[in-house]
Amino acid sequence: MAWSIAEVARMSGVTSRTLRHYDEIGLLPPAGIASNGHRYYEDADLLRLQQILLMRELGVGLREIRAVLDSEVDQVAVLRAHHGRLLGERNRLETLARTVGRTIAELEKEKEGRTMAVEINRPENLFEGFAPSRYDAEVEAEVRERWPAAWEQSRRAVEGMSAEETEQWQREATAQMIRMAEFMVAGTPVADPAVQTEVDAHYRGVCRFWTPNKEAYEGLAQRYADDPQMRANFDKIAEGLAGYQREAMIVYAGARLS
């Protein structure tokens, strides 16, 4: 069955202008163009559009999306990885909704002259479901003690970033984690050249803030796997990703930073 660009726009919520842009950059070419010049799309195109929108929701850039879709990576495996992350985020948001709901109920009780027994007796209930900070004070103190020059370099770089630059950096970091998850799900060895190319991009990204030597980069890799907060950031994208990232970084450090 074929759908016009207007029908696809209506079904997906994506404007016709955006669909034409996706065609122009080779991300989503239509199945064909009718004699009247109108684009039309078929089932496979709708599936591809779904994957584009999914990865956009996960913060992946259009160039990276095209690279993934045009690669030979098992699309089902990729979708499973994305699905797992979405389910994890759904569960977190459901927990967060319950947390806020409990607080509302307790505040209403307080207005009626009753105490906030649940929240006061178990204050951790106030914070259940909130995503942990990526870099806590303990990690920062360790980096500052072990690599003071690197810590100072990183601090200055972060403070000098605008809000837009920070958002772009976060999007790039998320996209990179997703690409590593795709390699892991596909069973690609960490020493594979494609994986190591991705790790090289990660290392160069780190070097925007500080330049780790072999020991420091291996320490960062181990921190990804050992620190509960950092590990959670990786594993909410795909279970086991923190360990996979660590092993890939250690291979890179041994080969490129010795």
Q: Are residues 164 and 221 in the same domain?
A: yes
Determine, yes or no, domain membership for 63: no
CA–CA dist 178, 78 (Å, integer): 9
Q: Are residues 41 and 84 in the same domain?
A: no
pLDDT of residue 159: 67
Domain holding 157, by residue range, is 76-256
Torsion sign, CA atoms 186, 190, 195, 199: positive
Tokens of 192: 């594979």
**Pick from 190, 246, 184: nearest CA to 218:** 246
Domain count, the chain: 2
Average pLDDT, the chain: 77
Domain harbouring 82, CATH code: 1.10.490.50
**Pick from 225, 202, 226, 198: nearest CA to 212:** 202
pLDDT band at 127 (very low <50, low <70, confident <90, very high): very low
Q: Is the pLDDT of residue 252 over 90?
A: yes
pLDDT of residue 149: 67
Q: Is the pLDDT of residue 95 over 90?
A: no
CA–CA dist 31, 9 (Å, integer): 15
Q: Are residues 122 and 39 in the same domain?
A: no
Q: Tens digit of pLDDT for each residue in 132-164?
A: 444 344 445 555 666 666 666 666 666 666 767
Q: Which residue type sits at 163?
A: A
Q: Are residues 42 and 93 in the same domain?
A: no
